[in-house]
Structure 1
Amino acid sequence: MCRHIAYVGRPSALGDLLVRPPHGLLRQSWAPRRQRHGTVNADGFGVGWYAEGDPVPARYRRAGPVWADPSFTDLARVVRSEALLAAVRDATEAGADGEAAAAPFAAGPWLFSHNGAVRDWPAGVAPLAAALPAAELLSLEARCDSALVWALVLHRLREGDEPGQALADTVLDVARAAPGSRLNLLLTDGVAIAATAWGDTLCYLTVPGRGTVVASEPYDDDPRWCEVPDRALLTATRTDVLTTPLKEPPA
């Protein structure tokens, strides 16, 4: 599994959300408190953020562990944004994709992350991949399960689905094709956040006057953190959060 976080709200330094909190994403890379699968998130990391006046986010991604990159902590100290999505990737089997497999994935205004694993990869979801247009399949950034899940979500977004609907329908399709998959998805366009809780933890924190954070686990012990029930869709703005149950697909 991985750990990820998204934020929308007033301008904040990346480090205030990712580095400085006592249990922030930096610390979660080696000492997550609620991670159910895997122990060390050292196979890459990334952060995407939005600059004022530009709807297309910037990304900083690397193939190694975040704690080994002092340039990231220096960048996070000074870069400010009203919205971000960041992730650390669980140690997994060796592969050739490098930082291309590290979230966030991006297209246009969108940033995306997948916390989980597709069961029986890749055979289980081969029919879903085959249904994608060839150009979209050939445009995959990496050959991992997260990159394919992102391609399925992005296809729905391009077809006009709302973000929450695109995530929910993708989760149900993948869960039907590959039962037992863990599919915590996180998506933002810099204005709102959509996420699913499907097989692992998901929490949110809304602070009046500041904004909303959605994360795999709390980055501090603020009692206002709320846990999202499993099998649920979350949609959030900087002031409001809505959760909706997702039904398990029929066998």
Structure 2
Amino acid sequence: MCRWLAYSGTPMLLDTILYKPTHSLIDQSLHSKMGVETTNGDGFGIGWYTGEDSSPALLKDVGPAWNNANLREIADHVRSPLFFAHIRASTGTAVQRSNCHPFRHGRWMFMHNGSIAGFHLMRRDLCLLVDPAQFTDIEGTTDSEVMFHLALTFGLDQDPPTAVARMAGVVERAGREHGVEFPLQMTVAVTNGETVWAFRYSTQGTSRSLFYSSKVESLRKLHPDMTFLQEVSDETRLIVSEPLGDLPGAWNEVPEGSYGLVQPGADALHPFAPIPA
């Protein structure tokens, strides 16, 4: 599987989140504690917004994140209020740049940890459901990218939770039609550059790990001596596949079968279920 993080809040150097935490995403690329694999070295990707352009920038590579000189270089110089980072452990598709997350379409970014079981059986069926205008934008061979384009087809731009629920519904229907008992395993993050939506769901009800950070104002009270917490806004938030450290009170598990919103103002957590197709 994979590991990922989404950051939203006070503009921050990528280095601060990617490298500096005790159990940073870079450390997780070699020493994941909660993933299916300990090592996630089948490529990586970073996507970020500059505030000057609604379309995010992407940096991807097929090599492991832990020794990539280009990633190390930009992390010290790129500052962003919202970025996605993903380290990949392939579930069977090729190790190639076009298969690295996050995926981008216009102002949207999407990344995924999990898999569609039996994807090779239902790939054609699912691809035929993608809007023909979107289909030519699929560059790679992963189930994740097809999931993204299905969500775009089902109205991601208008209603992300409904679009993702419809995507999950057609995946489960296709799985049943091909005799796959538990087709879908997903923790998904999607953003339009302003709001982040994060989903945790699996057909079997045993989804991959996902956590969100506690409110900054609460953490300041718990840890008044931490300089970092004094420098970020109250709306700063992280969503991660596994905690970046063991700071008491910092991390909360996203409930099974739910999705959360990180947005200007109050964040929210809601139940999530596929919309049957």
The structural deviation recorded for 1:245 is 1.8
Matching of residue 195 in structure 1 with residue 198 in structure 2: yes
Q: Considering only aligned residues, what root-mean-square deviation do their CA atoms show, in Å?
A: 2.1
How far apart are residue 239 of structure 1 and its match?
Answer: 5.1
Structure 2 spans left out of the alignment, 5+ residues: 176-181, 202-206, 218-232
Q: Is the 8 A contact 1:231 1:248 kept in 2?
A: no
Bigger mean CA offset, 101-110 vs 128-137? 128-137
Partner of 1:224: 250
Deviations 1:139-197 (A, max 9, x none): 21201111111111122236x53222222322233234333421111111221110111
Deviation sequence 1:209-243 (CA, Å, 0-9, x none): 25111111111222221101111122122553322
Correspondence list, 1:1-251, <5 A: 1-35=1-35, 37-93=36-92, 95=94, 98-157=96-155, 160-178=157-175, 179-198=182-201, 199-205=207-213, 206-208=215-217, 209-210=233-234, 211-222=236-247, 223-237=249-263, 240-247=266-273
**What is the aligned-residue identity percentage?**
30
Shift of 1:94: 6.0
**Deviation of residue 250 (structure 1)?**
7.1
Q: Which ranges of structure 1 fall in alignment gaps of 5 or more residues?
A: none
**TM-score, normalisation: structure 1:** 0.91
TM-score with structure 2 setting the length: 0.83
Deviations 1:82-129 (A, max 9, x none): 00011000144462x611100010011111101101110122353232
Relative to structure 1, the CA distance from residue 41 to residue 76 in structure 2 (aligned partners, 3 Å threshold; closer, same or farther) is: same
Residue identity opposite 2:216 in structure 1: V
One-letter code of the match for 1:234? G
Q: Secondary structure at the match of 1:167?
A: helix
